[in-house]
Chains A and B, each alone.
Chain A
Amino acid sequence: MSSERLPRDLHPVAWWVWALGLAVAASFTTNPFVLLMLVGVAALVVSLRRSDQPWGRSFRLYVWLGVVIVGVRVVFWIVFGGWSGGRVLLDLPTVPLPDWVAGVTLLGPLYAEALLFALYDGLRLATIVICVGAANSVANPKRLLRSVPPALYEIGTALVVAVTMLPQFADSARRVRAAQALRAGETGRVRRLRRFLVPVLEDALERSLALAAGMDARGYGRAGGASPAQRRTTGALMLGGLAGICVGTYAVLDTTAPRVLALPMLVLGVAVAVAGLLSAGRRVDRTRYRPDPWRWPELAVVASGVAVGALGWWLSAHQVDVAYPALDALPPVSGAGLVLAGVALLGPLCSPPPRLTLEVAT
């Protein structure tokens, strides 16, 4: 059936929801098998669905970043351990420290449990990073910025411009450097930097003024026909929503705060913020050129991401010894853990094959 389907890019928001669902599940567990299964699913999906655009090759960088994260975590645990109890792997001498750094230990015996904990904990963060990397390499970043809600239209436009202009900055720096290599001048480290920075910044300013003039001439930046009262309502809604979300998040994390401030406040804040976004989006009446379609594969991918996140939360709440395995035995994996990995893979398998620029020839 998949051979009949035309290759197309899946909606970038669907990929991001799926990847964030995997990251949420990863943040709820330190079970190395569950985490490695999530990494394996991410790697498989990326190798199946990445396009041949430049961002499609970034997954490797994220995997290396994950390896570095695990390594740093382990080294930090060896140096600033402070663990006690368990099987001693390596009896390093403790470096004596003065009293005013109480609580910090340098080296000391290395326990097998401490090493395992560092590995598991590093692997968790690495998995989260790799999941985000998977989203980055399968979703088109420019199309993602285009599909921001209308209220954030100006921010989206600014980000698209910034992303597009970044290569021009490197080009400008190269031109200035080449021009200065032909002239005499300061060669000291600091003075050379000043000689170099001023023309580059000037160049960037001139370029952005030219771009602004061009966009203004084409009708960008038109402040819609909102009355001051409407604008005030929108601002009040946005600020109220932001405050509600801040207070609610704080109360959710701090269990000593009154419970009324926790989830109810968070829900209220989100509702007010959504109302503010809708109110702000009403005055932006712009059409989208060739909007990304939202069909059933997008729904399947989003559903699998949400289900994986929910399963991860369920695992940490109901199967604590699977989600946080003991350090002195082989970590157990329950059926729920396997289902989690299966669901994570199932959604992306429904997605259409990616559009490749080079496959036209074959």
Chain B
Amino acid sequence: MTRSVQPVLRAAAATFLVAAACIGLPAAPATAVGCSSAHGVTVVVDFGEQGGGVQAACVADGGGDSAAQLFTAAGFALTYVQRQPGFVCRVSGKPADDPCVNTPPADAYWGLFWSDGTSGSWSYATTSAANQHVPDGGYAGFSWQGSDTRRAPGYQPAAHPSPSPSHAPTHSPTHAPTNAPTHAPTGPGSSAPTGAPSTTGSPTASASSASPSATGSGGSGPGNRGAGGKRDHPGKAKASSTPSSSGSATATPSSAAAPVTPTSAEPADPAGGGLPDWVAPAAVALLFGAAGVVAVVRRRRGTP
């Protein structure tokens, strides 16, 4: 069945892409696919003005973890503000122009959102990424806030009827048709102008778009949870939305760019230094020793 459907869909996607390019729509890679069942935690990053579209991944055994752990496990490297640790400054190396020393301003920061998986809507997190724990079947999302108005991630969290994880593996074939439609129309609806080509893209890209982000986790995130997400997800995606691989052609180039940015951001660090390790402690010791000696000499001379 898959064999026969694939070429047709691929052609359809290709025509859509061409059409989108001709119309002049920004061919934003709105490849947003998370967990296909009520099991696992969907991790969403909406890059907004930073470029990179909406990326999503599934952390299969991430229920109850903090958002910071989830994003790292899904391959989105988090960089914190140096003067305010715990405040996320960069996600996957974006924005690269912020030095990440002071807290970002109110119109250029990463907003953390989460959903418990039953409400079907995002809520703005009231704590930091390290303290925001997401239950199994829930959602964690970073959305770039480029203006004063708050913007939730362009990805609709599904309202799972029962968040009990035991249902997921057994019911996966029956869940699949119910989940897929909820993902599909809402994804483009929320990110209206860019998501136009993704009406075909979002249900189809599920298996493929997650894998590049998971490979990114294998490169940057050391956790074996990232590898787990990578392994689990295609299996589940196959069960839920099989006619999907056509979207892969559109999804891979965009999300393949994501793992490149953190690697390009990190080598910029080794700029200073250059002195051997013992120089600075020796200078400190010399200064304190001199101060002590002078104080002792002055006391010997009788001047208080």
Contact = CB atoms under 8 A, between A and B. Distances in A.
Interface of A: 30, 33-34, 36-37, 40-41, 43-44, 46-48, 52, 57, 82-85, 102-103, 105, 114, 117, 254-256, 316, 318-322, 324, 326, 330-338, 341, 345, 356, 358-359, 362
B147 to A, nearest CB: 10
B287 A362 contact: no
B101 A47 contact: no
B101 A316 contact: yes
B161 interface: no
Contacts of A316: 101
B298 A47 contact: yes
A37 B287 contact: yes
Question: Which of B66, B105, B291, B301 has the most chain A CB atoms inside 10 A of its CB?
Answer: B291
B272 A334 contact: yes
Contacts of A114: 85
B97 interface: no
Contacts of B127: 102-103
Given A40-B283, A82-B131, A84-B69, 14 more contacts: A36-B284, A37-B284, A43-B287, A43-B291, A82-B130, A319-B272, A321-B272, A322-B272, A324-B101, A332-B275, A333-B280, A334-B274, A335-B274, A362-B302
Contacts of A334: 272-275
Contacts of B130: 82-85
Interface pairs A-B: 3 shortest CB-CB: A40-B287, A84-B130, A319-B272
Interface string B68-94: 110010000000001101100000000
11 contacts: A33-B280, A43-B288, A47-B291, A52-B303, A321-B269, A333-B273, A334-B275, A338-B279, A338-B280, A338-B283, A358-B303
Nearest to A337: B280
Given A36-B284, A82-B131, A316-B101, A335 B291 contact: no
A243 B83 CA distance: 29
B287 A333 contact: no
A30 B106 CA distance: 25
Nearest to B80: A85
A316 B100 CA distance: 11
Contacts, number: 122
Contact of A319 (B66, B105, B271, B294): B271
Given A47-B295, A47-B298, A256 B303 contact: no
B99 interface: yes
Nearest to A357: B303
Nearest to B295: A47
Contacts of A338: 275, 279-280, 283
A319 to B, nearest CB: 4
A256 B291 contact: no
B24 interface: no
A358 B304 contact: yes
A117 B85 CA distance: 8
Nearest to B304: A52
A332 B272 contact: yes
Given A334-B272, A341-B283, A256 B86 contact: no
Contacts of A34: 280
B172 interface: no
Nearest to A49: B294
A324 to B, nearest CB: 4
A321 B274 contact: no
Contacts of A332: 272-275
B126 interface: yes
B93 to A, nearest CB: 15
A345 B106 CA distance: 41
A84 B68 contact: yes
Contact of A105 (B101, B131, B301): B131
A117 B279 CA distance: 22
Nearest to A28: B101
B49 to A, nearest CB: 15
B303 A356 contact: yes
Question: Which of B83, B85, B128 has the most chain A CB atoms inside 10 A of its CB?
Answer: B85
